[in-house]
Structure 1
Amino acid sequence: MLTSVQNEKVKNWRKLKKKKERDLHSQFIIEGFHLIEEAHKSDWDIVEIIYQQGIECDPAWSTYPPLFEVSDNVMVAITQTKSPQGVLAVVNKKEIQTHPIQRALMVDRVQDPGNLGTMIRTADAAGFDTVILGNGTVDLFNDKVIRSTQGSLFHLHVFEADLTKEIDRLQQSGSKIWSTGLENARYYNELDVPEKLVIIVGNEGSGVDPHLIQKADQNVMIPIYGKAESLNVSVAAAILMYEAVKK
């Protein structure tokens, strides 16, 4: 059992709380039984599992990489949740691979981890195959983002990219680009949904970057029937993604 927060292994786990360390080592931490099971079922590379003393391990974990039992104080030092389940895993990031895209969500500079995680989870539920994160978007492997995805992170192609270049590439491959925005926009429910569709949603305060809006094939907006000025970005994304799969 590891009992000291000064142990080198423990120090390395704690470092993975920071984005620069996650990027440096191409690894991240997940917490809880459900996320570990989803990562395993989706063939992500689990490097090691850490469990708190007194926690009963799943018998299936005997086939996993090394298991490390830790004391209560070590678990407190490495966990980032208020009510931890007492089990974590270190997971290797996946290499980005080119794949055909049928339905994709592009995310431009969204800052809130809960919003990003919810959009990834919704994209999974709506049958989208890809989520593309632009520069300035909250880190995909932020612990709050991961928890908010509820495991959907492991089911989709999710990667970071230059959105300008991605729009060009996807348009060349036959995708139509819808951007949320008010200028020269049409209501989404008045449009025919193209066979290959990419939807861009933007920053909580400023929306989609005007340069990206200019490159889109169509600006779309959602009708508001009450007095609210706007919708939360994850709610707007959900409405548009589910509309896309209705037709």
Structure 2
Amino acid sequence: MITSVKNEKVKEWRKLKQKKERDQKGQFLIEGFHLIEEAHNSEWEIVEVIYEEDKVDIGELAQYEHFGVSDNVMTAITDTKTPQGIVAVVEKKMMTSHVEKRALLIDRVQDPGNVGTMIRTADAAGFDTVMLGRGTVDLYNEKVIRSTQGSLFHLNIVEVDLAEEMEHLKAEGITVWSTGLEQATGYHELAVPEKVAIIVGNEGSGVAKELMAKADQNVLIPIYGQAESLNVSIAAAILMYHVGGKRA
């Protein structure tokens, strides 16, 4: 059992809490049986499993390289207040920006809970691709991963230059809808294209103007009460379910 936070393996695991280290090593941490099972069932490469040896039975996960640790070590490598007693190191998977029919484009959204929730909703609504633009929180941030509830492992998710990708999407016959108020039409008034990408933007400033200008259509969600705006993940959910349920 590893009991010291000064152990070299523990130092390696703790470094993966930093984006720079995740980018360099091409690996990230996930916590809890649910996420680890989702990674396993989705055929992502699990590098190693770390577990509290005196509290957790890892069962079939013993097929992976595994390390028993004490509770103080588990606390040091996890981000939650009440660790579940099991963590895995997972290899990043190379994805492509190819879109089959439905894509969500995320522009500079910085709240990890919002990004994770949108990925989870995209999965539920039948989307195949999520694109994270520059300035958006890191996909492998611990809070993003937790908020996806495993949907991270089900979708094609890429980090891209959205301006470039929007040009590629349009060249491939995919209609791009942007949320925004300028010259916008209510989403329920529009026919749903056979192939569509929806772009949503930063919590405070919305979609960047240069990206909005590249869109085929600006769409809005009517507000009937006195709220000034909708949370970005709620707005994305409304639009994704509107188009996701109307497949050609």
Show the counterpart of 2:14.
Answer: 14
Is 1:102 matched up with 2:101? Answer: yes
Show the counterpart of 2:181.
Answer: 182
Question: TM-score, normalized by length of structure 1?
Answer: 0.98
Amino acid at match of 1:18: Q
Show the counterpart of 1:56.
Answer: 56
Is 1:144 matched up with 2:143? Answer: yes
CA contact (8 A) 2:56 2:86 kept: no
Cα distance in structure 1, aligned partners of 2:176 and 2:92: 28
Question: What does 1:59-98 align with in structure 2 at a 5 Å threshold?
Answer: 59-63=59-63, 65-97=64-96
Amino acid at match of 2:3: T
Amino acid at match of 1:202: G
Taking every aligned residue pair, what percent have the same amino acid on both sides? 67
Greater displacement, 137-146 / 52-61? 52-61
Cα deviation 1:84-138 (Å, max 9, x = unaligned):
1000000000012354421000000001000000000000000000000000000
Show the counterpart of 1:121.
Answer: 120
Cα distance in structure 1, aligned partners of 2:245 and 2:53: 48
Where structure 1 has 5 or more consecutive residues not aligned to the other structure, the ranges are none
Is 1:133 matched up with 2:126? Answer: no
Q: Residue 88 of structure 1: SS of its match in structure 2? A: strand
Show the counterpart of 2:36.
Answer: 36
Q: For the structure 1 residues 151 and 16, does the alpha-carbon distance in structure 2 shift closer, same or farther, using more than 3 Å as the test? A: same
What is the CA distance between 1:75 and its match in structure 2? Answer: 0.8
Show the counterpart of 2:245.
Answer: 246
Greater displacement, 50-59 / 194-203? 50-59
Question: TM-score, normalized by length of structure 2?
Answer: 0.97
CA contact (8 A) 2:115 2:144 kept: yes
Show the counterpart of 2:194.
Answer: 195
Q: CA RMSD in A?
A: 0.9
Question: What does 1:163-242 align with in structure 2 at a 5 Å threshold?
Answer: 163-242=162-241
Q: Residue 121 of structure 1: SS of its match in structure 2? A: helix
CA contact (8 A) 2:26 2:92 kept: yes
